[in-house]
Amino acid sequence: MPPLRIGMLGLGTVGAGTWRVLTRNQRDIVARSGRPMEIVAVAVRDLERARRIVGGAVALTTDPFDLVNRADIDVVVEVMGGTTLARELVLQAIANGKHVVTANKALLAEHGAEIFAAAEARGVIVAYEAAVAVSIPIIKALREGLVANRIAWVAGIVNGTSNFILTEMGSKGIGYANALKDAQDQGFAEADPRFDVEGTDAAHKLCLLAANAFGTQVPFAEVHTEGITELEAVDLACAEALGYRIKLLGVARRHDHSVEVRVHPALLRSDHLLAGVDGSMNAVMVHGDASGTTLYYGAGAGSEQTASAVIADLVDVARSAACDPSERVPHRAFQSHAMADLPLRPMADTTSAWYLRIICSATPTAERALLRTLARFGLQARIYGRYAQPDHSAHHVVLTQPVAYAALRRALVSLEQLPAVQGKVRAVRVETLE
């Protein structure tokens, strides 16, 4: 068989890892794919740095359009990032009849509908296993292993950087800024790390998971997204003292006529399977009506960890490029004509229990006022801990029974107006995933 000729856009953390793994494991990879894989050309900004990685055998360019227009390339690997130039390049590659492998979840969450439609019209593959929970073959699991199921929900920890930061802050007592810097130094973080810590990256991935799980488009801009930037070490410690861990969770759930898609920090009981997922690791749980709950665990970021998924996609391209496009696995698990457009369920209607940390005078009168205020909005709550501050106030840690988000928000406004309450009330959902 002739080699699969690859052009790579980018040779950074993921691109260089792909180069190394492909070079190191070429023999096993060819034994599986049936075709040699040859990186023919690479587009970067810094040619000298790239030359040090790939040596003299590969054509290098600083013009990425030059690369996607080359006639001697079968597949373009987009590991450059961003959504503007990357979108143009991917669409141009597709228009040129090239298959695309990408690790770019932002691109697909925001422009997936356009890109998949263009690929389908041109009969080429757009593969993106590396875009979600890198080393975990979760797209393959949803598209192939679980196809018999009506999937009720998919949930998990899908951002390695924020999980790494929470773990460092919690168990090692390392400060937020140092933990983030460490994640950046290890190549886990996005070029703009706000995507990681504000929950955006997790929301991008959740859109792709939900589309594959439920067969519906998910409008990224409407996904409820909260990150970890408001959490403090005291929250992690209070949660721990109550028998919980705090994780940044993505949850997508199917309802009869809508889908619920949300990213936010959540308390999970310490014995929950996801609570023990630490560092830059990721884990995804999927509940199917026939399979029951299945769990997938693995590295959530990193150079060769992501390369593992990029190359898996390249092998899929090598195996199925010659097939009739209608016989390939659909881009988002469901045939495109069967994709629905279900609305997102308003967050105000979602229900969960809550952890509240309220800084308030440590007097019985003040505490009664807290609980009375919560009760006025239908929140059954109990004070589980009081952590004294030097000024005679205390962090009051409250857990509530499940309540609609709309009621919780109204209660928070009233709580923060009580004379005994200082500053903002910290509120984090308690998730059971039942």
Q: Which residues are catalytic?
A: 205
Residue selected from 118, 119, 301, 310 as contacting ligand HSE according to rule CB under 6 A:
301
Residues in binding contact with ligand NDP, number by CB under 6 A: 27
With beta carbons less than 8 A apart as the criterion, state whether 156 and 133 touch: yes
Report the alpha-carbon angle 275-216-121, nearest 5: 125
* Residue number, 11 or 339, with CB nearest to ligand NDP: 11
Residues 130-149 interacting with ligand NDP (rule: CB under 6 A): 130, 134
Written as six digits, the tokens of 172 are 């090692």
CA separation for the pair 331, 90 (Å, rounded): 15
Cα–Cα distances (Å) from 320 to 35, 307, 324, in that order, read 11, 20, 8
* Residue number, 90 or 252, with CB nearest to ligand NDP: 90
CA separation for the pair 22, 17 (Å, rounded): 8
Which part of the chain contacts ligand NDP (CB under 6 A), choosing from 21-29, 298-306, 360-368, 383-391?
298-306
With beta carbons less than 8 A apart as the criterion, state whether 125 and 100 touch: yes
CA separation for the pair 212, 200 (Å, rounded): 19
10 annotated among ligand-binding-site residues: yes
Residues 6 or more apart whose CB falls under 8 angstroms from that of 70 comprise: 7, 40, 41
CA separation for the pair 278, 405 (Å, rounded): 28
From the list 293, 289, 54, 37, the residue with the least C-alpha distance to 155 is 293
H helix or E strand, kind and range, residue 426? strand 421-430
From the list 225, 235, 230, the residue with the least C-alpha distance to 398 is 235
9 annotated among ligand-binding-site residues: yes
159 binds, among ligand HSE, ligand NDP, none (CB under 5 to 8 A by kind): ligand HSE
Q: DSSP string spanning 251-262?
A: EEEE-SS-EEEE
Which part of the chain contacts ligand NDP (CB under 6 A), choosing from 5-13, 260-268, 347-355, 422-430?
5-13
Residue selected from 44, 75, 155, 420 as contacting ligand NDP according to rule CB under 6 A:
44
Annotate each residue in 115-154 with x if it binds ligand HSE (CB under 6 A) or - if it does not, as one string: -------------------x--------------------
**Packing angle of the helix pair 105-122, 85-95 (nearest 10 deg):** 20
Cα–Cα distances (Å) from 203 to 27, 61, 220, 377, 431, in that order, read 37, 33, 7, 30, 17
Residue selected from 190, 198, 313, 431 as contacting ligand HSE according to rule CB under 6 A:
190
With beta carbons less than 8 A apart as the criterion, state whether 14 and 79 touch: yes
Which part of the chain contacts ligand HSE (CB under 6 A), choosing from 158-166, 217-225, 265-273, 418-426?
158-166
Should residue 188 be labelled a site residue for ligand HSE when binding is judged by CB under 6 A? yes
170 annotated among ligand-binding-site residues: no
Should residue 10 be labelled a site residue for ligand HSE when binding is judged by CB under 6 A? no
Provide, rounded to whole angstroms, the least separation between the CB of residue 429 and ligand HSE. Answer: 21
H helix or E strand, kind and range, residue 247? strand 244-254
Provide, rounded to whole angstroms, the least separation between the CB of residue 235 and ligand NDP. Answer: 27
431 binds, among ligand HSE, ligand NDP, none (CB under 5 to 8 A by kind): none
From the list 173, 244, 163, the residue with the least C-alpha distance to 428 is 244
196 binds, among ligand NDP, ligand HSE, none (CB under 5 to 8 A by kind): ligand HSE
H-assigned helices in 215-363: 233-241, 303-320
Residues 177-206 interacting with ligand NDP (rule: CB under 6 A): 187-188, 190-191
Residues in binding contact with ligand HSE, number by CB under 6 A: 11
Provide, rounded to whole angstroms, the least separation between the CB of residue 265 and ligand HSE. Answer: 15
Should residue 227 be labelled a site residue for ligand NDP when binding is judged by CB under 6 A? no
Should residue 400 be labelled a site residue for ligand HSE when binding is judged by CB under 6 A? no
Should residue 333 be labelled a site residue for ligand NDP when binding is judged by CB under 6 A? no
CA 146 to chain CA mean position, Å: 20
Residues 258-287 interacting with ligand HSE (rule: CB under 6 A): none
234 annotated among ligand-binding-site residues: no
Interacting residues with ligand HSE (CB under 6 A): 134, 159-161, 188-190, 196, 201, 300-301
Interacting residues with ligand NDP (CB under 6 A): 10-15, 43-46, 49, 64, 79-81, 85, 103-104, 130, 134, 187-188, 190-191, 301-302, 306
